[in-house]
């Protein structure tokens, strides 16, 4: 597989933070803009994925530190599911032609932070899998992250 130089991902691979990054974000509402959180309530928060699959990719994360889906309380499951419906509306207003939603449960399932579960909301766009992906096995993120965050944050005010 060919590689596309992406120096911004080094932070993800070399981060030496102790504790849980999602718990840090959950307990720091004063840093929401810095952390790219655009919604929070007493059960969960919405945060842009710093290493997105596509422009507009965000996650819905329970405030409570929990690593297994089956350990979520019933109120958390119901609330996060309801919030995912609103997340779909946000992404459709953002211009998504389709949406992938998913929980990567455990390290072997692809969870980058397996100790604190999170629901990925990934917008899909017509032809977003193109020659670079199919022929060169390389993904290109072609949007300004901070501008996408501001746009998603603005749209979310219609639903959250």
CB count in 10 Å sphere of residue 101: 13
pLDDT of residue 127: 73
Q: Model's pTM, two decimal places? A: 0.80
The DSSP bridge pattern shows strands 119-124 and 44-48 to be unpaired
pLDDT of residue 135: 46
Mean per-residue pLDDT, 104-114:
88
Instruction: Please report which helix (H) or strand (E) contains residue 59, including its range.
Output: strand 58-62
Q: How confident is the model at residue 111 (pLDDT cuts 50, 70, 90)?
A: confident
pLDDT of residue 126: 87
The CATH homologous superfamily to which domain 18-156 belongs is: HIT-like (3.30.428.10)
Query: Would you kindly state where each structural domain of the chain is located, as residue ranges?
Result: 18-156
Percent of the chain with pLDDT strictly greater than 70:
80
Mean per-residue pLDDT, 75-81:
98
């Amino acid at each position: 597989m060919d590689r596309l130089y992406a120096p911004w991902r080094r932070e993800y691979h070399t981060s030496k933070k102790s504790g849980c990054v999602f718990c840090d974000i959950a307990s720091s509402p004063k840093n929401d803009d810095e952390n790219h959180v655009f919604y929070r309530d007493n059960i969960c928060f919405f945060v842009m994925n710093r290493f997105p699959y596509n422009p507009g990719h965000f996650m819905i994360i329970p405030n409570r530190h929990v690593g297994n889906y089956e350990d979520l309380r019933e109120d958390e499951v119901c609330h996060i599911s309801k919030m995912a419906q609103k997340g779909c509306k946000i992404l459709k207003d953002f211009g998504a032609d389709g949406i992938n939603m998913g929980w990567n449960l455990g390290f072997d399932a692809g969870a980058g932070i397996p100790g604190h579960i999170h629901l990925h909301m990934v917008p899909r766009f017509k032809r977003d899998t193109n020659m670079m992906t199919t022929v060169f096995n390389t993904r290109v993120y072609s949007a300004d992250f901070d501008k996408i965050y501001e746009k998603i944050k603005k749209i979310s005010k219609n639903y959250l």
